[in-house]
Structure 1
Amino acid sequence: MQDTPITPELKAFLISIGSVSVDPSLIPRARGSTAGPGAGTSSVFFRSGEKRVRLSVSKNSPLSIEAAEEDRTVTLLHEGRELARGKLEPAPAHCPEQAFITLCERCIFDCKYCPVPKLQGHIKNEEEVLNIVDDVLRAGTLKAISLTSGVEDSIEGEVERVLKLLPILKKYDVPIGVSVYPTEGCSRKFYDAGVVEVKYNVETMDREIFQKVCGDLSLEYILDRLKEAVEIFGKNRVFSNFIIGLGESDTSVREGVETLAKIGVIPVLRPVNPHPLRSGDCFTERPSPERLLKLAKMEAEILRKYGLDTSLAMTMCLKCTGCDLVPFVDF
């Protein structure tokens, strides 16, 4: 049986749930060929036709993925009713077709929705990073390298961590994207070192909410660095995660998207992912399918107004599209 097209409405519904139970026999398909940061059973990528969606694995999800009769195909169901047929995409390093690597899994900042400060995880050295990229290369799926990082000691230290890696990563001859907390002047350094795209996250454009959930950071400072980045990288090469589900109004989202688009930045509207380690630390609510569709269509209208196009992305989240409803790609 042929793949079933993932419509914008279906993807919005799947993202609003955000999880899926998976037949254990199918997990090796989703793992790919490595034990990189995206391997294992924490999430899977379901692809049908040219569209994909990423879902975390949960035994209690109303969504399920089961093997279909046809070789290598799977069926996606909601409470036993078939929604779509497609395949599980290998994600050797966080997402398909990229080596998407978190360099530092720790953070000194305490954004109230984020589990990273509580987890205080691993910090990868150069050898580990190269091993991950080599594994994706051997799997035959390396089309981009994307680097992100928490903050171990200082934002300056994380920028330097990335800059030290860039010369050796250029040998792979694929686009490189970087997403870190920025320093003044770092965009010029990244660009000169061969980076093609950057993502500096505003998290939310509602200033009152920002102060409550990211009080250690400065929204104005991030906006200044985004403006600086657009001057260097140009339009369609600078992105920013914009979390949906922290209590913001649709009006504030529209105003925030317009503010970013006006300076040449493409917002990535990212549904909040409530984490048990941050339970009660701040308001979080997974957005409904209807709200996701409404906001994505609103974003498309604004991006069109300012001549921005998500489909031109070469790295990171907008190239993957698994977690978000992406204008001009998903609809």
Structure 2
Amino acid sequence: MNAETKAQLISVGSVNMDPSLIHWLTIPTAGPGAGNIAFFFNSEGHRVRLAVKENSPLEAKMEGEALVIRKDGVEIARGIIEEELIHCPDQAFITMCEKCIYDCKFCPVPKLNGKVKSMEQMLKMIAEANETGRMKAISITSGVEISAEDEVDRAEKLIRRLREKYNVPIGVSVYPTEDSTCRLKFAGADELKYNVETMDRKLHAELCPEQELEYLLDALREGVKVFGKNKVCSNVIIGLGETDESAKKGIEELVSIGVVPILRAAAKHPLREGEVTIERPSAERLLHLNRFLKEKLDEAGLRADTFKTMCLPCTGCDINPHIDFED
């Protein structure tokens, strides 16, 4: 599966298939794709995460040991269904809180009434993941149940407990507070992600009215100072109404402060119908913007393929410009 094929699969985001074929079905609990049944597909070492939907234009069937994906009867890709550890292959990726007080208009999490895991639950999940012998990293993310400060407290305590026991990279993605960056680093986190969601100022104010983009950018700047080069990343959702010019300007701004952007295809969710206009990016647009991203990362001496935790090494939901492009 080359980058062009992967972009095509991401642009659709789903396949029509018999769910019983999948032994490792998951339902994401964080972000715009929360609530959808999904699985990981790997073809020739390249990975993509796909939702299972009856109305998908793509059809997937098992042929021998391979899962074959077709569109209009024409084969697009052939590969395997990957086993997950927690949320993704090779990582114990924990969502501490599946609720959120921030009402970002593209995200279903505030409307899903999700669970909040206890410290004991999270430690048990990670211990069981470690027992498989396949845990290469631990990643922690969270919504916001009561306040961002409370989530940082929980993340800090969890990381300290984990660092006492496990010698694997730990990544963390929460909403920043005034002192979160230093606290998370000193607790033992290796990599940091604060999500800007969109770098288009006008769209950010409309879609994330309770968050401040400049505050997030200041936190990311501090993150680079504290965590170092190639240790800080941020999700940028593509398909919320931004132009290519706006997206490129945002990429340049993030790269200029030492942050590695992750270009995430926007996903429609029925719980947000009428609140936001989403146009899932085409394969061509994803390739165009990710090639631009690769160019800017290379110019700045930043790498998307050196991260050990969270989304960049997983590559399931996004094109990683230093892994998925062959050039």
- Structure 2 counterpart of 1:3: none
Between the aligned partners of 2:280 and 2:319, the Cα distance in structure 1 is: 14
- Answer yes or no: is the 8 Å Cα contact 2:102–2:110 preserved in 1: yes
The 5 Å alignment of 1:1-331 reads 6-28=1-23, 30-31=24-25, 42-69=37-64, 72-170=65-163, 171-331=165-325
**Letter matched to residue 296 of structure 2:** I
5+ residue gaps in structure 2? none
**How far off its partner does 1:37 sit?**
6.6
- Answer yes or no: is the 8 Å Cα contact 2:90–2:137 preserved in 1: yes
SS at match of 2:284: helix
**Letter matched to residue 204 of structure 1:** T
**What is the CA deviation profile of residues 36-78 of structure 1, one whole-angstrom value per residue up to 9, with x for unaligned ones?**
979x981010001221000011122122221122xx3221222
**How far off its partner does 1:325 sit?**
1.1
**How far off its partner does 1:327 sit?**
0.5
**How far off its partner does 1:142 sit?**
0.7
The 3 A distance-change label for structure 1 pair 136 and 79 is farther
Between the aligned partners of 1:24 and 1:139, the Cα distance in structure 2 is: 24
**Letter matched to residue 88 of structure 1:** I
SS at match of 2:80: strand
SS at match of 1:312: coil
**How far off its partner does 1:318 sit?**
0.3
**Letter matched to residue 275 of structure 1:** H
**How far off its partner does 1:128 sit?**
1.3
5+ residue gaps in structure 1? 1-5
**Letter matched to residue 138 of structure 1:** E
The 3 A distance-change label for structure 1 pair 36 and 206 is closer
TM-score by length of 1: 0.93
The 3 A distance-change label for structure 1 pair 25 and 121 is closer
Runs of 4+ that moved beyond 6 A = 35-38
- Answer yes or no: is the 8 Å Cα contact 1:48–1:85 preserved in 2: yes
- Answer yes or no: is the 8 Å Cα contact 2:28–2:37 preserved in 1: no
Equivalent residues, number: 320
Between the aligned partners of 1:107 and 1:141, the Cα distance in structure 2 is: 31
**How far off its partner does 1:31 sit?**
4.2
**How far off its partner does 1:20 sit?**
1.1
- Answer yes or no: is the 8 Å Cα contact 1:15–1:55 preserved in 2: yes
TM-score by length of 2: 0.94
**What is the CA deviation profile of residues 84-133 of structure 1, one whole-angstrom value per residue up to 9, with x for unaligned ones?**
22110011311111111110011111000000111121000112112221
- Answer yes or no: is the 8 Å Cα contact 2:19–2:52 preserved in 1: no
- Answer yes or no: is the 8 Å Cα contact 1:36–1:93 preserved in 2: no
**How far off its partner does 1:24 sit?**
3.3
